[in-house]
Amino acid sequence: MVLKALISLTRKKTLEEYRHYMMTVSLSFLFVAALCLLISFFIKTNDFAAGLLLGGGVAGLVVATYYLTLTRQPNRLKAAYIAAYDERNQFILRVTAISTLIFLFLENFMLIILYAFMGVVLTYPIVLLIWLYSLFLGFVFFKLIFTRIL
């Protein structure tokens, strides 16, 4: 069953299937964003966690609104559909993902070296923030570079 789901995810979708997929993604983002916003207002003990959830909720609402708008405008939906299945864009996305993964491995290696040889001890939230920002900014940086090069 999982194999069938994976095969159906990798095949090229029709425009209507793509619109349905984008609608599902937008509603998922909307649900998770609303959940993050609600939880952020009930967390009283940790301001950091509340702020992180509030920021994630607002960002999720922005993404959900963008995708909902995209599904309602046929011209923009068709442009996004063509861009999603363009071979060049798929190659750039694949190379960007691999480069980001390599970057994160090197970053983890450097954090281990800092701890082993220099005694730098980072708290768990700091390590998570380093990973989060490295993942996001690394992906954006590599995507910009590979879009210009390839």
Q: How do residues 128-149 score in pLDDT, each as one tens digit?
A: 999 999 999 999 999 999 999 9
Which residues neighbour 75 within 8 Å (Cβ) at sequence distance 6 or greater? none
> Does residue 20 sit in the same domain as residue 73?
yes
CA atoms within 13 A on the CB side of 41: 7
Q: What is the pLDDT of residue 43?
A: 84
Q: Which residue range forms the structural domain that includes residue 102? A: 87-150
pLDDT tens-digit series, residues 53-87: 999 999 999 999 999 999 999 999 999 999 988 99
Domain boundary pick from 85, 112, 127: 85
- Please check whether residue 30 is in contact with residue 61, taking contact to mean a CB–CB distance below 8 angstroms: yes
> Does residue 74 sit in the same domain as residue 92?
no
> Does residue 79 sit in the same domain as residue 97?
no
pLDDT tens-digit series, residues 99-116: 999 999 999 999 999 999
Whole-angstrom Cα Rg for the chain: 19
Residue with token string 């071979």:
87
> Does residue 14 sit in the same domain as residue 77?
yes
**Chain centroid to CA 63:** 10
Q: Is the pLDDT of residue 89 over 60?
A: yes
> Does residue 80 sit in the same domain as residue 106?
no
Domain boundary pick from 32, 51, 85: 85
